[in-house]
Amino acid sequence: MGVGRIIMSNPTYSRPARWEVLVLQGALIFLACLWIYTPVYHGEWLWDDDYLITANPAMRSVDGLWRLWFAPSTADFLPLTLSFLWIQWQFFGMDPNGYHIVSILLHSMGACFLWMLLVRTKIRGAWTAALLFAIHPLCVESVSWVAEQKNTFSLPFFLLAAFFYVTFDQRESRKYYFLALLAFLAAMLSKSSVVMFPFLILLYAWWQRGTISRRDILRSAPFFLISLALGMVTLFFQLHRAIGNEPIPLGGFDSRLAIAGMGGLFYLTKIFWPFGLLPIYPQWDANPAPPFYFAAWIPLIAAGVLFWMKRKSWGRHALMAYGFYFITILPVLGFVAMSYMRVGWVSDHLTYIPMIGVLVLISSSLNHAAIQLRPVVRNWIWLGAAACGGLLVFQSHSYAAIWANEDVLWLHTLKYNESCWQAHNRYGSREFNRGNHAAALPHFERATALRPDLAETQNNLGSGLLAAKDTKAAISRFREALRLSPDILAIQANLGRALMLDGQNDEAILIYTDLLKKAPSHAGFRCNLGITLFNAGRIDDAIAAFKQSLEIDPHFNEASDYLKIAIEAKGNRK
């Protein structure tokens, strides 16, 4: 009786204890992420952060939000993510610290949303899977690179869409169906990598009931409509803006099939062994593809066949996880050309969502095995798992330090991937902008040797040669760059400047005159035209050009100085 009364006198004791555990588990996820990413709290802007954020005029303008949605100038259609970055700009401006903190918090929140989803679907090891995702080194690229807030911002919407759809499936409440549809739309407007979500709905239906009914297909139809519409928009932006006329060495279907198999196996390998990670991996020569590249499909297909054969038991769960991985990774395996393929076939940030399926399978399997085994063995399993988790934490922390500084980023890449033209090009640009022209030139030469078919490399090499006062070699490079990309005004301006310095004034005058037809309010172009006219002896025309330049920009010191020189020269001539 006494014992019974003691138990019954604290009927609510278990509830706060449960909430205390949940809070502690959630806090552990956030604390792990906050420690892992300490190297990037004060990290620099990286890579294409300038294009997306710091040099994006929409970020600075009052009507920027409208332009991001209805007149975007970026290479991808990401209006919701860019709107979120626009809001951050109002608080942080050019200081990258705030953006980095937001990225870390978004990643932590995404891990907690994954935990919430797995609890809803009654999957064992839900918290372990969420923690594993939070600390996994493959996530470092997405979290440390501000431009990849596309990933960390879209993930919570993706997971909310899944959570609401599962809740709808369990409770048959229309409210949750429309919430799922709304969350999926938000995810697609954040980043279209979630485009395969409708197929996951059908996979989930099969996993739950062993079949895909007509009702499941009808339920998924609105999701497919959103996916198709915004997916086509993404393809348009990729093909016409991100890629344009730039050659992507994908080859025919056989090459793409080989690349897809190698990529699918590569990502799986990195999920299980996330060491030797690189910002840019060596690009396999797959056009034509060596026969052994196709062999990558053998273990991938064999695993799928094995899981299908065991679908009446454990194989059903394995197929769910394996299917999740392949469905979500499929769009980036190489069947369709994407802009990132200009530097490599694979990239860590592309597996940010697909890896979830594999991590959940690992965690669930560990939990299931631990339950079946004796306590002593179970303790050893969890001890080993904890040791592996600690190793992942330190590996992620170490790799995050590489993403804190662009110099370190590119030097690390070149240490293990010397043939990476992008790393040579970017590091050369860093040195060039610091005034270290002699240090930049070898990197520009190497980048151009690796990718002579790119206007970007030819132009940068021309700039390096011009700084070294080799004007004739610079002119040759600028001409080649302009042949490859005739519509880029910066290259045309560089050629004009090189011709001017080489004394070829007549052609330089023609180039600057043409530039001013395209950009009549560019003070720099008018000033350079004035300098070229002055060098050609046309002093009155030069004075007029300098005055027009100062009308556009009254504080343009170079134009002001040259105007004084031209006026003085005119007086001396009299």
Q: Per residue in 352-406, pLDDT tens?
A: 999 999 999 999 998 887 777 777 777 888 888 889 999 999 999 999 999 999 9
pLDDT at 250: 81
Task: Strands of 301-397 (E only): list them.
Answer: none
Residue of higher predicted confidence among 7 and 415: 415
* Gap between the Cα atoms of 482 and 24, Å rounded: 59
* Gap between the Cα atoms of 74 and 240, Å rounded: 11
* Domains, the chain: 2-407 (no CATH), 503-574 (1.25.40.10)
For a pLDDT cut of 90, what percent of the chain falls above it?
Answer: 79
* Gap between the Cα atoms of 523 and 379, Å rounded: 72
* Gap between the Cα atoms of 65 and 67, Å rounded: 5
Is residue 3 scored above 80 in pLDDT?
no
Residues making up the chain, counted from first to last: 574
pLDDT at 12: 40
pLDDT range class, residue 5, cuts 50, 70, 90: very low
Is residue 320 scored above 60 in pLDDT?
yes
For residues 462-477, give the mean pLDDT.
96
Q: What is the DSSP letter of 244?
A: T
Cβ partners under 8 Å of residue 465, min gap 6: 441, 471, 473, 474, 477
* Residue 196 CB-half CA count within 13 A: 16
pLDDT at 574: 59
Q: Per residue in 265-299, pLDDT tens?
A: 999 999 999 999 999 999 988 888 899 999 999 99
pLDDT range class, residue 1, cuts 50, 70, 90: very low
Q: Per residue in 476-520, pLDDT tens?
A: 999 999 999 998 999 999 999 999 999 999 999 999 999 999 999
pLDDT at 516: 94
Grouping H, G, I as helix, E, B as strand and the rest as coil, residue 460 is: helix
**Is the separation of the CB atoms in 505 and 535 below 8 Å?**
yes
**Is the separation of the CB atoms in 102 and 43 below 8 Å?**
no
Residue 43 region, left (φ>0) first, then alpha (ψ -120 to 50), else beta?
beta
Average pLDDT of the chain is: 91
pLDDT at 71: 86
Residue 235 region, left (φ>0) first, then alpha (ψ -120 to 50), else beta?
alpha
Is residue 18 scored above 90 in pLDDT?
no
Residue type, 338: M
pLDDT at 19: 81
* Gap between the Cα atoms of 416 and 422, Å rounded: 14
Of the candidates 257, 41, 254, which has an alpha carbon nearest to the alpha carbon of residue 144? 41
Among positive and negative, which fits the CA dihedral 349, 82, 111, 260?
Answer: negative
* Gap between the Cα atoms of 109 and 97, Å rounded: 19
Q: Where are the alpha helices (DSSP H) in 238-294?
A: 253-272, 291-294
Instruction: Give residue for tokens 């090459």.
Output: 255
Is residue 60 scored above 90 in pLDDT?
no
Q: Per residue in 195-214, pLDDT tens?
A: 999 999 999 999 999 999 99
Of the candidates 392, 125, 441, which has an alpha carbon nearest to the alpha carbon of residue 277? 392
Q: Per residue in 547-560, pLDDT tens?
A: 999 999 999 999 99
Which tokens in the block code for residue 538? 């046309």
pTM listed for this prediction: 0.90
pLDDT at 220: 97
**Is the separation of the CB atoms in 153 and 142 below 8 Å?**
no
pLDDT range class, residue 28, cuts 50, 70, 90: very high
